[in-house]
Amino acid sequence: MTFAVIQMVSQDDVLANLSRARRLLERAANDGARLVVLPENFAAMGRRDLIALGRAEALGQGPILPWLQRTALDLRLWIVAGTLPLPPDDAPEAKPRACSLLFDEHGQRVARYDKLHLFDVEVADNRGSYRESDDFAPGERLVVADTPIGRMGMTVCYDLRFPELYGALRQAGAELISVPAAFTAVTGGAHWQVLTRARAIETQCYLLAAGQGGEHPGPRQTFGHSAIVDPWGRVLAECAQGEAVLLASRDVAEQQAIRQRMPVQTHRRIFSSDVPRPIAVE
């Protein structure tokens, strides 16, 4: 029941990033991990042609998707592939989504989650502002998927600020939640660690938060502090900056005991009249 999160400092060279990711994934596999989460934008950070890169991948003309399939198969790993800028499967000419893919140990894609919440904010850093909606369309559904470690809900980065999403994933049966991310140094320093622990405590899930941690082209500085947080909110593993492989194991009995002692799911009262988004069970 061992899993891992990987922290990277991805640059604008796709092949170099894939080479670094392969070495980190090999370390995780050698240490016994069955499932590994890569960070947001693991294959490229700071490129101006990310949309063209994603279209090439969707047309079968890029290196990233074949690399993911081959690596998952070679290492017998389930891989949460951070994020890629891919158009919808049924509309290759449409505006791309920031999507997180799940590959099984046979190299087969078993789930796709398109980021629901787009990062359109002003930040007091070198860039000043971020407008993901200029390049991406938001996703439209929640995704939970069965894995060897347990039932996993999928989220991405800015999603972390929306507890209603995490509550819906728990309601859909999530036992662990993936959070590939690239938090800015400013917003991460203020809120990342509080948010990761809060989402784990609220959902009583293991939170697998795989971040970017360092300097990137742009220029851009990411906060790092990738972490694995258990259902009681304890940080089981963490790394501040630089590349890292963090490992932990799921204790099923302890998670069940936490949920029994603190039965928050059975105590939930719903006050919102909003119609919930559909849930994809994959």
Q: What is the pLDDT of residues 175-186, one digit of tens each?
A: 999 999 999 999
pLDDT tens-digit map of 156-212: 999 999 999 999 999 999 999 999 999 999 999 999 999 999 999 999 999 999 999
Per domain, the residue ranges of the chain are 2-281
Q: For residue 128, name the pLDDT band (cuts at 50, 70, 90).
A: low
Which of the four pLDDT bands, split at 50, 70 and 90, describes residue 126? low
Residue 239 is among the residues annotated as catalytic for this protein: no
pLDDT of 132 reads 78
CATH number for the region 2-281 comes to 3.60.110.10
> In whole angstroms, what is the distance from residue 101 CA to residue 112 CA?
5
**DSSP 8-state class, residue 246:** E
pLDDT at 124 over 90: no
Structure tokens at 162: 């929306």
For residue 239, the tally of other CB atoms under 10 A from its CB is: 18
Question: Residue 68, exposed/middle/buried by CB under 10 A (0-12, 13-18, 19+)?
Answer: buried
Residue 164 φ then ψ, to 5°: -65, -30
Question: What are the CA-CA distances from residue 49 to residues 12, 55, 233, 276 (Å)?
Answer: 10, 10, 39, 35
Which whole number is the average pLDDT over 78-95? 91
Q: Is the pLDDT of residue 274 over 60?
A: no
Catalytic residue selected from 57, 93, 99, 157:
157
Give the Cα separation of 249 and 64 in Å (integer).
28
Least confident range from 150-159, 214-223, 245-254: namely 214-223
For residues 153 and 178, the answer to whether their CB atoms sit within 8 Å is yes
157 as an active site residue: the answer is yes
pTM of full prediction above 0.85: yes
The runs of H, that is alpha helices, within 162-232 are: 163-171, 185-187, 193-203
How many angstroms separate the CA atoms of 160 and 183, rounded? Answer: 10
Selected catalytic residue, list 57, 99, 115, 239: 115
Q: Chain-centre distance of CA 173, in angstroms? A: 18
